[in-house]
Structure 1
Amino acid sequence: MQGWHSFIPTPVKTSYLNALLKAGFHTLDFGSFVSPKAIPQMADTKQVLTALDLRDTQTKLLAIIANRRGAEQAVGYDEITYLGFPFSVSPTFQQRNTNSTQEESLGTVADIQELCIKNKKQLVIYLSMGFGNPYGDVYSEEILLQWADKIAALDITIISLADTVGLATPEQISNALAALVPGYKTVEFGVHLHSSAANVHQKLQAAIASGCRRFDGALKGIGGCPMAQDDLIGNMPTETMISYFEAQGLKLHINRQALQHCIQLANEIFI
Structure 2
Amino acid sequence: MSDKNIKLIECPRDAMQGWKTFIPTTQKVEYLNTLLQVGFDTLDCGSFVSPKAIPQMADTAAVLDQLDMDATGTKLLVIVANERGAAEAVQYDQVSYLGFPFSVSPTFQQRNTNSTPEESLARVEAIQHLCIRHNKQLVVYLSMGFGNPYGDPYNEEIVSEWVEALLKNDIRILSLADTVGLATADQVYTMTRHLITSLPHIEIGVHLHSTPDNWRSKMEAALQAGCMRFDGALKGVGGCPMANDELVGNMDTEKMIGWLTQQNRLPALNQAALNESLILANRIFN
**Aligning the two structures, in what range does the TM-score lie when normalised by the shorter sequence?**
over 0.9
- Distance in 1, matches of 2:36 and 2:168, equals 33
CA contact (8 A) 2:146 2:191 kept: no
CA contact (8 A) 1:218 1:236 kept: yes
Matched, 1:8 2:23: yes
- Distance in 1, matches of 2:21 and 2:168, equals 40
CA RMSD of aligned residues (A): 1.2
- Structure 2 counterpart of 1:10, which letter? T
- In the TM superposition, 1:177-256 aligns within 5 A as 177-226=192-241, 228-229=242-243, 231=245, 233-256=248-271
SS at match of 1:130: coil
Instruction: Name the TM-score, length of structure 2 as normaliser.
Output: 0.92
Partner in structure 1 of residue 146 of structure 2:
131
- Distance in 2, matches of 1:257 and 1:144, equals 41
CA contact (8 A) 1:2 1:225 kept: no
- Distance in 2, matches of 1:67 and 1:230, equals 28
CA contact (8 A) 1:145 1:176 kept: no
Q: Percent identity?
A: 60
Matched, 1:68 2:83: yes
Matched, 1:163 2:175: no
Find 2:65's aligned residue among 50, 57, 62.
50
Instruction: Name the TM-score, length of structure 1 as normaliser.
Output: 0.97
Task: Identify the structure with bigger relative contact order (alpha carbons < 8 Å, sequence gap 6+).
Answer: 2
Matched, 1:269 2:284: yes
CA contact (8 A) 2:240 2:250 kept: no
Find 1:37's aligned residue among 52, 65, 68.
52
1:231 positional shift: 4.6
Structure 1 segments unaligned to the other structure (5+ residues):
none
Structure 2 segments unaligned to the other structure (5+ residues):
1-15
1:230 positional shift: 5.7
CA contact (8 A) 2:181 2:243 kept: no
CA contact (8 A) 1:75 1:116 kept: yes
- Distance in 1, matches of 2:149 and 2:55, equals 24
- Structure 1 counterpart of 2:119, which letter? E
Find 1:82's aligned residue among 97, 100, 104.
97
- Distance in 2, matches of 1:19 and 1:95, equals 36
Number of aligned pairs? 270
- Distance in 1, matches of 2:259 and 2:163, equals 28
- Structure 2 counterpart of 1:241, which letter? M
